Amino acid sequence: MAATKKFSSLFPLLSLICFVSVFLLLSLSRKASISSSPTHPQVLQFKPIAAANNIDTDATGSDTDASDGSSCDYSDGSWIYDPDARFDRYDSSCKEIFKGWNCILNNKSNGRDIVKWRWKPRNCDLPPFDPVKFIHSYRDTNIGFVGDSLNRNMFVSLFCTLKRVSGEVKKWRPAGADRGFTFLQYNLTIAYHRTNLLARYGRWSANGNGGKLEALGYKEGYRVDVDIPEGTWEKAPSFHDILIFNTGHWWRAPSKFDPVKSPMLFFEKGLPVIPPVPPDVGLDKVLKHMIRFVEKNKQRGAIKLFRTQSPRHFEGGDWDQGGSCQRLQPLLPEQVEELFSLKNNGTNSEARLVNQHLFKALKGSNFHILDITRMSEFRADAHPSSAGGKKHDDCMHWCLPGITDTWNDLFVTHLNNLKIGN
């Protein structure tokens, strides 16, 4: 608990609060500036939320030089290529790398080039991850990643990085996790809790005795309990000292939650929400309840982060329509806008739409926002693509080594900034 004890005096608490407010404002202002264009009225299942963008950004001073780091907007910057960059954090032999993400072993042509691009925030530098320092500072700490496979992608990066500097690990499943490891010399535990929607869900079929959904003609679907966390992570808040959440892609996965054949049917307090609401409204309800659940059940002093949506890069169709991601270099800013701007209603507009829901739900909570969306939007070159070894190209997960290493740089930088003032 070394990391959390440090918050016990008043001064660090105050600086923490300051940091949270500044950071939230910065994240929101960033959001406002990238999606301020008029949005299309009927985009997929997620409708843009106009109100969340109309935040006055003048007071944040995001354009001033911020050398102390804590007030830097790390999400605004560009990728710089360094042909001589050496990446020695870990390599393709790390066993925890899921096979389809191991682009070097799978011979992806640019597999070794991906880590030669360095993220340079506009007004400051993102310090590289120092695993030795990290593992010393977070002795006796539990860190939980809670979310979908994209959070696992980030978890694996952290595991491989730390395994390099401390080889003695115990593999186990703490607090219901899908997988987890304790670095024994330091008593540092990291775990991945798998959950697609955060909320509990399961198959639903019409009851012969009737009911409100039956009366409306529903026969099959998925029951999503907006106020009940999925069992895989319900114990995570009382176990971990640092928690990092995500949800997103599964909210529009028509192959599973087909809006006609197997729609999401939302339940609250055990009863169906009537009239039934679309997934974007369900997402708002789930976020509201899950944020409340975490705040109520977390340990004293726990640090909670929510990671923003990871962008996909399907071009020429969606994942099941022959879409692919064959680029070997990051996108230019204008290409990013073409692919992600909401007014184009493109295949990948999900990223910014989901973020609108997250920012709205997190406003006023004391979660920190880990904004990786913008930096990742550039990286059309960093997905496994056809090297993923599946029938369809994987333009959603990320190669490892790869950019979830940079997400972890950002994660660690945030943690370190929170500790300033000890």
Ligand X SMILES: *[C@@H]1O[C@H](CO)[C@@H](O)[C@H](O)[C@H]1NC(C)=O
Interatomic CA distance for residues 61 and 366, integer angstroms: 21
CB 201 within 8 A of CB 224: yes
Q: DSSP E strands: which ranges in 246-341?
A: 264-268, 271-272, 303-307
By CB under 6 A, name the one of 10, 42, 95, 203 that touches ligand X: 42
CB of 331 to ligand X, least distance (A): 19
Q: Which stretch binds ligand X (CB under 6 A): 38-46, 66-74, 223-231, 256-264?
A: 38-46
CB of 136 to ligand X, least distance (A): 14
CB of 377 to ligand X, least distance (A): 18
CB 56 within 8 A of CB 98: no
Interatomic CA distance for residues 253 and 274, integer angstroms: 23
Nearer to ligand X, 268 or 337 (CB): 337
- Total site size for ligand X, rule CB under 6 A: 13
What type of residue sits at position 104? I
- Strands 179-183 and 169-172, by their bridges, are antiparallel
Phi-psi region of 198 (alpha: psi -120 to 50; beta: other; left: phi over 0): left
DSSP summary character for residue 215: H
Show contacts with ligand X in window 160-219 (CB under 6 A): 187
Contact between 255 and ligand X (CB under 6 A)?
no
- How far from the centroid of its chain's Cα atoms is residue 27's Cα? 14
Interatomic CA distance for residues 246 and 417, integer angstroms: 21
CB of 312 to ligand X, least distance (A): 12
- Strands 142-147 and 368-370, by their bridges, are unpaired
Show contacts with ligand X in window 347-406 (CB under 6 A): 347
By CB under 6 A, name the one of 45, 70, 75, 106 that touches ligand X: 106
Interatomic CA distance for residues 188 and 79, integer angstroms: 32
CB of 37 to ligand X, least distance (A): 15
CB 365 within 8 A of CB 291: yes
Interatomic CA distance for residues 31 and 355, integer angstroms: 8
CB of 227 to ligand X, least distance (A): 29
What type of residue sits at position 266? F
CB atoms < 10 A from the CB of 123, how many? 16
Nearer to ligand X, 319 or 411 (CB): 319
Q: Which stretch binds ligand X (CB under 6 A): 36-44, 199-207, 296-304, 390-398?
A: 36-44
Interatomic CA distance for residues 172 and 401, integer angstroms: 24
Residue position matching structure tokens 């994660």:
411
Nearer to ligand X, 29 or 142 (CB): 142
Contact between 284 and ligand X (CB under 6 A)?
no
CB of 41 to ligand X, least distance (A): 7
Nearer to ligand X, 104 or 265 (CB): 104
Q: DSSP E strands: which ranges in 12-135?
A: 77-81, 117-121
Contact between 329 and ligand X (CB under 6 A)?
no
CB of 181 to ligand X, least distance (A): 13
CB of 323 to ligand X, least distance (A): 11
Contact between 107 and ligand X (CB under 6 A)?
yes
Q: Residues 123-142: x/- map of binding to ligand X (CB under 6 A)? A: -----------------xxx
User: Residue 383: which of 196, 111, 76 has the closest Cα?
Assistant: 111
Structure tokens at 50: 């106009």
CB of 187 to ligand X, least distance (A): 4
Nearer to ligand X, 121 or 174 (CB): 174
By CB under 6 A, name the one of 8, 21, 205, 345 that touches ligand X: 345
By CB under 6 A, name the one of 6, 12, 32, 40 that touches ligand X: 40
Residues that bind ligand X (CB under 6 A): 1, 40, 42-44, 106-107, 140-142, 187, 345, 347
